Every structure is written in structure tokens, then in C-alpha cells.
Amino acid sequence: MDRIETLLAAMTLDEKIGQLTMMSSNLAVTGPVLPGDVTEGIRAGRIGSLFNHWGPERVRETQRLAVEETRLKIPLFFAFDVIHGHRTIFPIPLAEAALFSPELWERTAREAAMEAAEDGLDLVFSPMLDIARDPRWGRISEGPGEDPWLGSRIAEAKVHGYQTADLAAPDAVAACAKHYLAYGAALAGRDYNSADVSDHAIREVYLPPFAAALAAGAATVMPAFNDVAGVPMTANARLLRGTLLGELGFDGAVISDYNAIMELLPHGVAGDAVEAAALALKAGVDMDMMSGAYAAGLPKALERGLVTQDEIDDAVRRVLRLKQRLGLFDDPYRRVVAVPDAFHAAERRRLAREVAAKSIVLLTNKGVLPLATSAKRIAVIGPLADARSEMLGSWAGAGRWEEAVTILEGVKAALPQAEIAYVPGTEIETGGDAGIAAAVQAARGADVVLLCVGEAAIMSGEAASRARPELPGRQRNLAEAVLDLGVPVVTLLTSGRPLMLPWLFERAAAVAATWFLGHEAGHAVADVLTGAVNPSGRLPVTWPRDVGQVPIYFGERNTGRPTDPDQHYTSKYIDIPATPQFAFGHGLSYSRFALSDLRLSAPMLRPGETLTVEVTVTNTGAVAGEETVLLFIHDPVASVARPLLELKGMAKAALAPGRKQVLSLALAAEALAFPGLDLKPVLEAGEIEILVGTRAERSELLSAMIRVEV
Ligand code: NOJ
């Protein structure tokens, strides 16, 4: 018998349920139910894993309790929300999505994993793979944006970065693909709300990033808080046991979200802890995070015949297998190192700066950027200019906000000769107008104003939905007072989501989405302002003009009455345009690029074949820069109406001025398949349009047709 079966045979029911119980330590608060002292529970074998617990000494001592003082000496595993870095904080995931770079996505995950492992962690609750098309939802900041193909590429890169090829390696940590499923479709953008999505949308939009994470080997999955059509995901046997475990063959562990099993009561599908525990276990949830329902309810559920011993054993097996894959049975202290690696810390800061600068999306620029060397007098205005504690954004791991570089500091360091006046003008959310006059005064004599406005870190992330994603507090008054002066205003927008500010986009000399960029925020912003870095970030979400357009995304369908502003009976608004403020993929550069010569390797594609799509990119600008080229398809006639554009590929060209490069993108016939009438993937014969360009703006794309033969 192998180790797991031997252990299982020796375990009491209580010890088994202990392995299914994950408790929080009190180092961080990430949910509504607060932890008590866990020491006794560990000694008694009633806890299988601890989260919100890190630090070599602490982890070593806690692990010692498990492997020396419990009857069966089964090691714990330690977990934490390492979402965009552990100690060195990188940009928030939505900002990183703007990189369109699998290589950088993987590198930041790798560095985060190394730091996490050094701190004794075995598992990170990441990547967050919820496709989100509603900026009201605060958690849009934690995910990959609106597109399932992009989300899938991020999923793979992150899983590889965290886990490496060998999950047992001392510097590898287990990934947790979350939140399964359709959490991003929360109705009205209100966190935790129901998602009433069709099976088709599940197949086409919400499932693919999870399938990609699984294919990359993700060790664990976390079900989402929401219900899908009335069945909470924590109890959703059809989508968990059926789709995830059955169809996708997931053989890792399923870890509930925080208190989610007990929340089956307020959801209205369980009457007590016994029913809740039974529903979750039967659905395929192996571990109970912080709800206590398994401990309180599983013994009775077993007695009443609501669950079987086999079902409990099976869940325990999955948890023990995870511990085995993590190498914990061989050395329970393998991820605890006494001395953090100082050399790497400096390297990581360099990477954090590079990635942060590349995550910035230059939304508008009327020629003011990069800053002219003649701009000597600079007024830095706004409540986010020197806001050290806001720079990391939500879920900042064990990162210290005190170590973040503010925008003001970054600009001062980059422009030592400039005369820099700084006035906050107002506060982010609460301040009044009293400081605006001083800000106007400082701006009046300046060559250029850097206006630093946006959201506080706590305004996005979990439980941070906003009905009006605009500038909070009195920041609009401040902005308008400064804009009225006629001095060029460069706006640096700190936010975890697209903010709807059409007036600002119209009036500012330039606007850059600077998200929450992490520890190196200020340096990264300065790098882009000065032109030391030529901006290359691209929007991973469609940026709406108005909250009334939400949900807005490029993968919409044509409808029977396609949008036409000049025709009455068409799909549009009568008060605002139906088009977005900025399309998916939008992002300006200091170079200009021209795309030409779209060439396809064949006019026809059959199953098993791969089409090569070539396009020439020329840097027609005056400085070196990087362009991202996107490959879309459109299937004009199919058994199920297809989206107007579907993203299928991306490639980058880094070019000196005047230089050109032929980019080559591969498109496998299978990538043209879609969920058919029976929801199974189908590749249909017919014409497919191939479209290539830099953003999801149909009129700008180069296009050609191919025929698919099956
Ligand atoms: C709740 C969040 O939904 C989830 O993303 C997180 O991993 C857990 N809390 C643990 O903190």
C-alpha cells in the first residue's frame, strides 16, 4: 500500500475531517469570520492546513506541532493570498494583463513564488481567472480582464511560474485557480451576487481560463462565492464534480472559499451545517476554508446517510496527494529558509519597475508626452501624488507599503533639475474643496501639470463594488479647476478598474492608466513620463464611456439589428454612442506603427492543420518602441451566432525607428471550434474572416478570408 492509503487506513473520522479543514491564522484578515487560537486544533489533528500564516520561524514552529505532536504526524500546508507578489509587489493583475506578455506574466509569478516559498508558504490563492466585463465589480482588478483567450494565456503563464515543472521543488508553490465559476458575471457588478449565465456563456467565456490552468497542471481550484442559476458554486455538483472533475479530469484538490460552505445557509440551499457539509462534499469540495461546517456537520451527515465514507475518504486522498506532490511528506520544512535572499530582493525591485512601466496604458496624448526637456516647472497635483499607502493596491501579500515609491518621489528622482511644486488639493474620498485654490495657484505658473487622481487601494478588490466608477470625493472639482487654467494637464489615473471620465479624456493633454503598480509605481510612472520607457501597455478590457453601457466587451454578437447610429430600429442608445471610450487593446506609444501585407499561408484549413498569418509591422515614428499585434477571427455564418471578434493570437515587435519586421502568428484549425448547439466543441465548414490589428476596432483591422473544410 502506498503512503496515502496506509495513512488513510490508520485515520479516525475526526482526523480525516481534520485534513479537510483549512483555518486562518490571525496575521491577516481576509474574511468575515475571525479565527481563534489554532494551536490546540493542530495538536489534536483537527486542522489540515493553515492560511494567512507566513514567516520562517512561525511556519517552522507551527509545522513542528503537526509533525511532532499529532498522532499521525501529517504535515500541514501553508497558504496565502499572493496575488501580485509576496514581499515585492508587482502591478495588480488587471494591470499586468495589459502586458500581453506570457514571458513577463510567468516571471513575476516565479519571483512571487520564490519569495512566498522562502517565507514558508506552499500554496498561493492565485491565479484569479474570472473573466469580468463590468467595472462596477471591484474584483475586476484581480483578474485577467474581459477576454477568455487572454485569460487562458495568463492562466498558463501563472501556473507555470508558481509551480514550475516540479511542484516538490523547495521554491515552487501550488497554484489555486479561482474562482470557479462565473464570479465575474455577478449581476449588477455587486460582489457575491448571483451569476445567471447560460451554459453556452460558461463554455465560451468563463470556463476556458480554468481549462487552461488545469492543462498547465494547476494543483488546486477554488469554487466561487456566487450561485449560477440558483445553485451556489460551493454546492454545484454539475459544474464541479461533473465538469471540473469529470469532464476536465481535474485530479487536484478543491478548496472552498472563505466560510463559503456555511454560507450555503443564507444562499438558501441548506438548512443547517449538516446539509451544507453534505452538499459541498458531494459537489466535490475537498477542503472547508474557515466555515467549520465539515467539522460540525460531516459526522452527522455520515450517520444520516447524506454522504458516504468513500466520499470522505476520496476528499482526504486528494488533500494528502496535494501534500505529497508538494514534497511535504519527504521534508515538511522544505520551503522554510532562515535567511531571505537579499540579492534577489534587489533584482526583484528592478523587475517590478520594468513590469510596472510596461503595464501603464497611455490612453490619450495630445503631444505633451514624453515631457519636453524644456518643461522645467512642474506642478504635481492631486491626492494620489504622494500616497505611499495606496500604491500597492488590494491584496498586497506581505508587501510593506512603507517601501513603495510614490509618483511624486519618482518624478523628483527622474527630473532632478526641474522645479517641482506639489499640492494635494483634496483627499481621495473624504476631503473638501478647501485645498483646491492652492493647487490652482501652483498649477498656474507651471509648464505642465501632473494631475494624480483616482481611487484608493481599498476601492477595488473584494467587497469593493462601485455603482459609479468615477473619481470619488471632490477630485473632479479639483481636476476641472486645474483644467480650466489652460496649462497642459497630464492625468495619471490610479485605479483598479476603468473609470468613466469622458470629460477628462476630452480635456486633458494626456491621460495614462497607471492602475496600482506596486512597489515601483513612482519610478515606473516617471520612466513613461520622461520617455525612458516608451509605453506599450494595452487595455485588457473595453473601457466604457458611461456606466450605462456595462457590460460592454468586444466579443459581443452582431444581433439582428446591428448597431447603426443613423438607423432608428437598431441596437444602440438614443442618449450616448454605443461605442466604448477606448477599445480592448487600445494603448498609445511614443512611436507610430503601420501594419501592412497581411498574408495567409493557405486559403483553406482542414482539421489538424495550422494556418500561418503574417503581417509586416513598421515603426514609422521617431523613437524605438514595441507594438503588440492581435489576431482575431470572425465566423460570419455558424449554427450558433459567433462574436463579432474573437481573439486568437498575439505577437510583439520591438522596432527601432524606420525598421520593419514580419510577425508570424499561428492559428490551428481547432482554435476555430466553438461550443455547438449541444455545447460540445464543433468545427464547422465555411468561411472564416481573419483579422489582424492592434485593438478590437473592426474598421482598423486588416482582413482576409479563408475556407474551413471538415
Ligand atoms: C476570499 C476571497 O474570495 C478569495 O479570493 C481568497 O483567496 C480567500 N478569501 C482567502 O483569503
Query: CB–CB of 254/222 below 8 Å?
Result: yes
Q: How confident is the model at residue 490 (pLDDT cuts 50, 70, 90)?
A: very high
CA distance 58 to 467: 41
Residue 343 confidence (pLDDT):
66
With CA atoms as reference, report the closest residue to 522 among 633, 420, 385: 385
Residue 341 predicted with pLDDT over 70: no
Query: CB–CB of 516/141 below 8 Å?
Result: yes
Residue 384 predicted with pLDDT over 60: yes
Query: Could you tell me what percent of the chain has a pLDDT over 70?
Result: 99
Going by alpha carbons, the residue nearest to atom 4 of ligand 1 is 257
Mutate to test the pocket of ligand 1, among 125, 137, 139 (most ligand atoms within 8 A of CB): 125
CA distance 384 to 440: 16
Beta strands in 568-645 (DSSP E): 593-600, 604-605, 610-619, 625-634
Our answer on whether the CB atom of 139 is closer than 6 Å to any ligand 1 atom is: no
463 CA to middle of ligand 1, Å? Answer: 11
Query: CB–CB of 181/210 below 8 Å?
Result: yes
257 CA to middle of ligand 1, Å? Answer: 6
Residue 340 predicted with pLDDT over 80: no
Residue 337 predicted with pLDDT over 80: no
Beta strand 660-668 pairing with 489-494: unpaired
Our answer on whether the CB atom of 462 is closer than 6 Å to any ligand 1 atom is: yes
Mutate to test the pocket of ligand 1, among 22, 54, 81 (most ligand atoms within 8 A of CB): 81
Whether a cis peptide bond, with omega within 30° of 0, leads into 577 is no
Our answer on whether the CB atom of 642 is closer than 6 Å to any ligand 1 atom is: no
Mutate to test the pocket of ligand 1, among 222, 257, 288, 460 (most ligand atoms within 8 A of CB): 257
Mutate to test the pocket of ligand 1, among 54, 173, 258 (most ligand atoms within 8 A of CB): 258
Q: Which residues are catalytic?
A: 257
How many other C-beta atoms are found inside a 10 Å radius of the C-beta of residue 687?
A: 12
Among 6-15, 169-178, 342-351, 610-619, the range scoring the smallest mean pLDDT is 342-351
Residue 37 confidence (pLDDT):
87
Our answer on whether the CB atom of 100 is closer than 6 Å to any ligand 1 atom is: no
30 CA to middle of ligand 1, Å? Answer: 6
Q: Mind giving me the DSSP string for 353-384?
A: HHHHHHH-EEEEESS--SPPTT--EEEEESTT
Our answer on whether the CB atom of 258 is closer than 6 Å to any ligand 1 atom is: yes
Our answer on whether the CB atom of 125 is closer than 6 Å to any ligand 1 atom is: yes
Residue 164 confidence (pLDDT):
98
Q: How many residues can be counted in the chain?
A: 710
Residue 336 predicted with pLDDT over 90: no
| Partners of 5 in the β-ladder | none
Going by alpha carbons, the residue nearest to atom 1 of ligand 1 is 258
Query: Domains of the chain, with CATH numbers?
Result: 3-326 (3.20.20.300), 361-536 (3.40.50.1700), 593-708 (2.60.40.10)
Phi, psi values for residue 632, rounded to 5°: -115, 160
Residue 339 confidence (pLDDT):
59
Nearest atom in ligand 1 to the alpha carbon of residue 30 is 11
Phi, psi values for residue 106, rounded to 5°: -70, -40
Nearest atom in ligand 1 to the alpha carbon of residue 289 is 10
Residue 460 predicted with pLDDT over 80: yes
Q: How confident is the model at residue 33 (pLDDT cuts 50, 70, 90)?
A: confident
What is the average pLDDT across 335-357? 84
Nearest atom in ligand 1 to the alpha carbon of residue 224 is 3
Query: Could you tell me what percent of the chain has a pLDDT over 90?
Result: 96
The answer to whether the Cα torsion of 408, 410, 416, 417 is positive or negative is: negative
Q: Which three cell numbers stand for residue 256?
A: 472552498
Q: What is the pLDDT of residues 533-552, one digit of tens each?
A: 999 999 999 999 999 999 99
CA distance 291 to 17: 13
With CA atoms as reference, report the closest residue to 455 among 435, 475, 472, 476: 472
Continuous segment of H or E residues that includes residue 44: none
| Partners of 220 in the β-ladder | 176, 253
Going by alpha carbons, the residue nearest to atom 7 of ligand 1 is 125
395 CA to middle of ligand 1, Å? Answer: 10
Whether a cis peptide bond, with omega within 30° of 0, leads into 200 is no
Our answer on whether the CB atom of 81 is closer than 6 Å to any ligand 1 atom is: yes
Angle at 437 between CA 433 and CA 442, to 5 degrees: 130
Nearest atom in ligand 1 to the alpha carbon of residue 176 is 7
Residue 434 confidence (pLDDT):
96
pTM of the full structure: 0.98
Our answer on whether the CB atom of 30 is closer than 6 Å to any ligand 1 atom is: yes
CA distance 160 to 213: 9
Q: What's the mean per-residue pLDDT of the chain? A: 97
Nearest atom in ligand 1 to the alpha carbon of residue 28 is 11
The single residue listed with the C-alpha cell 450558433 is: 640
461 CA to middle of ligand 1, Å? Answer: 10
Nearest atom in ligand 1 to the alpha carbon of residue 125 is 7
Nearest atom in ligand 1 to the alpha carbon of residue 179 is 5
Our answer on whether the CB atom of 31 is closer than 6 Å to any ligand 1 atom is: yes
Helix, strand, coil in percent for the chain, rounding step 5: 35, 20, 45
Residue 538 confidence (pLDDT):
98
